[in-house]
Amino acid sequence: MFTHNLDPVLFDFGFVAIRWYSLSYVAGILIGWWLGKKIIIKRFKNIGKKFDLEEFDDLITYLIISIIIGGRIGYIIFYNFDFYISNPLDMFKVWEGGMSFHGALIGIIFGTNLFAFNRKISSFFLLDAISCVAPIGIFFGRLANFINAELVGKVTEVSWAVIFPTIDPLPRHPSQLYEAFLEGLILFLILNIYILKKNYKTGTCACLFLINYGVFRIISEFYREPDSQVGYLFDQFSMGAILSFLMIVAGAILIVFIKKNEK
In order, the DSSP letters of 188-228 are HHHHHHHTT-TT--TTHHHHHHHHHHHHHHHHHHTTBPPPT
For 214-227, write each residue's pLDDT tens digit: 999 999 999 999 98
Rounded distance, CA 165 to CA 171, Å? 10
Domain count, the chain: 1
As beta bridge partners, residue 12 has 17
- 105 or 121, higher pLDDT: 105
Instruction: Provide the CB-side half-sphere exposure for 66 (13 A, CA).
Output: 21
For 130-153, write each residue's pLDDT tens digit: 999 999 999 999 999 999 999 999
Instruction: Say if residue 6's pLDDT is above 90.
Output: yes
Q: Which domain holds residue 137?
A: 2-262
Instruction: Say if residue 46's pLDDT is above 70.
Output: no
Strand blocks (E) in 45-204: 162-163, 171-172
Instruction: Say if residue 44's pLDDT is above 80.
Output: no
For 100-118, write each residue's pLDDT tens digit: 999 999 999 999 999 999 8
CB burial readout 182-212, b (16+ within 10 A) else e: bbbeebbebbbeebeeeebbbbbbbbbbbbb
34-57 average pLDDT score: 75
Confidence tier at 92 by pLDDT (50, 70, 90): confident
pTM, rounded to two decimals:
0.91
In 3-state terms, what secondary structure has residue 121? coil
Confidence tier at 50 by pLDDT (50, 70, 90): low
Average pLDDT along the chain: 90
Q: Which of 47, 246, 35 is nearest to 130 (CA)?
A: 35
Residue 168, pLDDT score: 94
Residue 262, pLDDT score: 65
Instruction: Say if residue 67's pLDDT is above 70.
Output: yes
For 162-220, write each residue's pLDDT tens digit: 999 999 999 999 999 999 999 999 999 999 999 988 888 889 999 999 999 999 999 99
57-77 average pLDDT score: 92
Residue 228, pLDDT score: 78
Residue 11, pLDDT score: 83
Judge whether 243 and 227 are in contact, CB under 8 Å: no
